[in-house]
């Protein structure tokens, strides 16, 4: 069985392109271009919590980076450098080869360099920290939404949660729907280009990892506002429609979507539509920001039917501790 | 049981001092002073691998930061910002309060700000990424050692490994020795001030986490040199002496020491002695760097007795996968 150091060398060491010093020393050294802010995010993925034990390791490598990229996308930052810590129950060469293949394919696509990490024995756990660059003052923060702003979402939500339900055996998707939903769950596509295009356009943004309603709640809380979601405007894919009530719950609260939810002033509508076309990304206007005083007592987010009546939101999103 | 977000707020959110944006958004935003390089390191600590299940959570909070600080010390970098991802089997308020107390006490002492993180359910695992600043060209890298350089070590090695052996029941330390060794294991003191003082003085440095001989091997490999260690010059504490053969093995290969091992040209001796006095840190000259051609066939590090004869090195250090 190869040692820790050989393992690092075999699967995770590449020549540095932009780092002054990459994998192999006590620290990596990077030079941030003068005048830019550094955006920093970290995510930990744990077996049986964030992914199934039988997950395809190539997709897991992809997803480990993708969920962090999604956080940078939600700030409008440009990804640059990553560190990866992994805890592995054993050394499985095939597994590691596939994992690093999935990781580096996405890293190459998005211009991310792996500059350091740590490997250890233990329950299968991945922890990545991702660094990106952001022009000062243009980061898409959660706390900038204003009453009157439109609410937008990229793509559509709910499919990843349906794939989880199918694999857990609580829902049976038709084969074609399962293929679509599984791809959403296993190979999420972070909206980096969209996030960068929304700099100076969106007043606030977040990526949807815990569920549309819950993540909208985070924007509201940080911005000290409330929000109305218009049910008829929410994008519903064929798989979500076909799943009925389960689909509706997944759309609102499923999580693992990695779409961008953002607020923007109404005078930005035309510009946002052009951005959607340029990024080849459907963008739907799904509601609006209202003053916090308008919030109903049970939460900051109100879901409205086409007649303006409130729909009860049963699912509050995915919280790892509830 | 409180949710993930309440948990973050309660134990890990503080007002930002130096970060443009701290805990609570998709990413943290920091501004690195122009002209400095950013040093980045990450370490993952797993229950039953890096610490015992019954560990004092306050010391674990300290140690989670300390092991990362030690990597920055070994680069001569100044610590600044940290992210923390934790996986927890359950929410235990007392445990979290103690853990965060230990973490923040050391963070305050060393000027580190916690700017972000992630919490999830799962086996107890801590993953910290630490960012620091380094003047360009002055980082203490592993690859700068030259034949003829002296080898130095701060403090003394071996005691932490003796505490591990005692707790595993493979060794019985006297109560006084156990107290000393347990303190070394549970409350390591990263050599930040020493690392910074060695900028421009040491040709190469590493922190000793895997064992003196193994970490010296890393310097040798990266610098394409070999090394002689002089047994009679190696600092031996009372507890290590009292442990006999086990003490000798721990001194050479125990690991978890978090002392600095560094190389420097002989004309730096006086300066290094002054640095040791200024940092209130014993520094011992323990050997020298030799050309790689002088290496014995079995490794890059040769241990010599006072007559210059080679002593067999039984223990090669602690490798998490061997």
Query: For B269-298, how does the pLDDT look when each residue is reduced to its tens digit (9 = 90+)?
Result: 999 999 999 999 999 999 999 998 765 555
How far, in whole angstroms, is CA A19 from its chain's centroid? 26
What string of DSSP letters covers B225-256? EEEEEEGGGS---HHHHHTHHHHHHHHHHT--
State which of A106, A134, A162 marks the end of a domain.
Answer: A134
Say yes or no: ipTM exceeds 0.90.
Answer: no
Looking at the structure, do residues A79 and A49 belong to the same domain, yes or no? yes
pLDDT value of residue A6: 73
Three-state SS annotation for chain A: CCCHHHHHHHHHCCCCCCCCECECECCEEECCCCCCEEEEEEEEEEECCCECCCCCHHHHHHHHHHHHHHHHHCCCCEEEEEEEEEEECCCCHHHHHHHHHHHHHHHHHHCCEEEEEEEEECCCEEEEEEEEEECCCCCCCHHHCCCCCEEEEECCCCHHHHHHHHHHCCCCCCHHHHHHHHHHHHCCCCCHHHHHHCCCCCCEEEECCCCHHHHHHHHHHHHCEEEEEEHHHCCCCHHHHHCHHHHHHHHHHCCCCCCEEEEECHHHHHHHHHHHHHCCCCEEEEEEEEEHHHCCCCCCEEEECCCCCEECCCCCCCCCCC
Chain A CA closest to residue B31: A37
The per-residue pLDDT for range B102-139, each reduced to its tens digit, is 999 999 999 999 998 888 999 999 999 999 999 888 88
Looking at the structure, do residues A205 and A297 belong to the same domain, yes or no? yes
pLDDT value of residue A295: 59
Q: Which residue has the higher pLDDT, B220 or B12?
A: B220
Q: Which residue has the higher pLDDT, A297 or B55?
A: B55
Looking at the structure, do residues B124 and B163 belong to the same domain, yes or no? no
Looking at the structure, do residues B202 and B54 belong to the same domain, yes or no? no
Q: Which residue has the higher pLDDT, A266 or B137?
A: A266
Interhelix angle for A4-12 vs A93-110, to 10°? 40
Q: Which residue has the higher pLDDT, B322 or A84?
A: A84
Please report residues of B whose CB lies closer than 8 A to that of A220: none
Neighbours of B217 (CB within 10 A): 21
Average pLDDT for A196-213? 95
| H or E segment to which residue B102 belongs | helix B93-110
- The DSSP 8-state label assigned to residue B126 in this structure reads E
Number of domains in chain A: 2
Q: Which residue has the higher pLDDT, A143 or B155?
A: B155
Neighbours of B322 (CB within 10 A): 11
Q: Taking all residues of chain B, what is their mean pLDDT, rounded to a whole number?
A: 89
pLDDT greater than 50 at residue B177: yes
Q: How far is A303 from chain B (nearest CA, A)?
A: 23
Hey, is the C-beta of B164 within 8 angstroms of any chain A C-beta? no
pLDDT value of residue A319: 45
pLDDT value of residue B205: 96
pLDDT greater than 80 at residue A68: yes
Range of the domain at A106: 4-134
State which of A80, A112, A134 marks the end of a domain.
Answer: A134
pLDDT value of residue A314: 59
3-state DSSP assignment of residue B38:
strand
Report residue B41's pLDDT band, with 50, 70 and 90 as the boundaries. Answer: very high
Looking at the structure, do residues A170 and A53 belong to the same domain, yes or no? no
Looking at the structure, do residues B301 and B155 belong to the same domain, yes or no? yes
Q: Which two tokens stand for residue A287?
A: 């509601």
The per-residue pLDDT for range A114-130, each reduced to its tens digit, is 998 888 999 999 999 99
Hey, is the C-beta of B27 within 8 angstroms of any chain A C-beta? yes
Q: Which residue has the higher pLDDT, B313 or A213?
A: A213
Interhelix angle for A244-253 vs A159-168, to 10°? 120
pLDDT value of residue B313: 75
Looking at the structure, do residues A206 and A161 belong to the same domain, yes or no? yes
State which of A87, A103, A134 marks the end of a domain.
Answer: A134
Is residue B317 situated within a structural domain? no
Average pLDDT for B315-322? 42
Average pLDDT for B81-98? 91
How far, in whole angstroms, is CA A209 from its chain's centroid? 5
Interface probe, candidates B5, B23, B26, B78, chain A, greatest A C-beta count within 10 A: B26
pLDDT value of residue A83: 93
Average pLDDT for B8-37? 74
Hey, is the C-beta of A120 within 8 angstroms of any chain B C-beta? yes
Looking at the structure, do residues A119 and A228 belong to the same domain, yes or no? no
At A15, which CATH number?
3.30.1330.10
pLDDT greater than 80 at residue A256: yes
Looking at the structure, do residues A171 and A284 belong to the same domain, yes or no? yes
At B184, which CATH number?
3.90.650.10
Chain A CA closest to residue B71: A26
Q: Taking all residues of chain A, what is their mean pLDDT, rounded to a whole number?
A: 89
pLDDT greater than 90 at residue A14: no
Looking at the structure, do residues A285 and A152 belong to the same domain, yes or no? yes
In whole angstroms, give the CA distance from residue A295 to residue A221. 11
In whole angstroms, give the CA distance from residue B285 to residue B153. 7
Is residue B56 situated within a structural domain? yes
Is residue A289 situated within a structural domain? yes
Cβ-Cβ contacts under 8 Å between A and B: the total is 233
């Amino acid at each position: 069985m190869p040692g820790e150091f050989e393992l690092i060398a075999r699967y995770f060491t590449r020549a540095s392109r932009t780092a002054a010093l990459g994998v192999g020393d006590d620290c990596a050294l990077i030079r941030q271009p003068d005048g830019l802010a550094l955006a920093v995010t970290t995510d930990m993925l744990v077996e049986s919590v964030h992914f199934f034990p039988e997950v395809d390791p190539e997709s897991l490598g992809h997803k480990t980076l993708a969920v962090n990229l999604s956080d940078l996308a939600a700030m409008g930052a440009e990804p640059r450098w990553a560190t990866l810590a992994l805890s592995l129950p054993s050394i499985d060469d095939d597994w590691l080869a596939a994992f690093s293949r999935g990781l580096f394919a996405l890293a190459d696509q998005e211009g991310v360099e792996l500059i350091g990490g740590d490997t250890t024995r233990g329950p299968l756990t991945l922890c990545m920290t991702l660094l990106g660059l952001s022009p000062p003052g243009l980061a898409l923060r959660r706390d900038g939404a204003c009453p009157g702003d439109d609410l937008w979402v990229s793509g559509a939500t709910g499919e990843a949660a349906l794939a989880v339900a199918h694999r857990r055996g609580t829902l049976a998707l038709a084969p074609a729907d399962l293929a679509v939903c599984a791809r959403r769950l296993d190979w999420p596509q972070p909206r980096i280009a969209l996030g960068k295009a929304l700099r100076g356009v969106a007043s606030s943004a977040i990526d949807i990892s815990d569920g549309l309603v819950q993540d909208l709640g985070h924007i509201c809380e940080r911005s000290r506002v409330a929000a109305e979601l218009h049910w008829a405007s929410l994008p519903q894919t064929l798989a979500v429609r076909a799943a009925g009530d389960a689909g509706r719950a997944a759309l609102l609260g499923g999580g693992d979507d990695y779409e961008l939810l953002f607020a923007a002033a109404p005078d930005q509508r035309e510009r946002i539509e052009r951005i959607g076309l340029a990024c080849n990304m459907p963008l739907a206007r799904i509601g609006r920001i209202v003053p916090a005083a308008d919030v109903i007592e049970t939460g900051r987010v109100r879901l409205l039917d086409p007649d303006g009546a409130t729909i009860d939101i049963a699912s509050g999103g995915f919280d790892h501790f509830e």
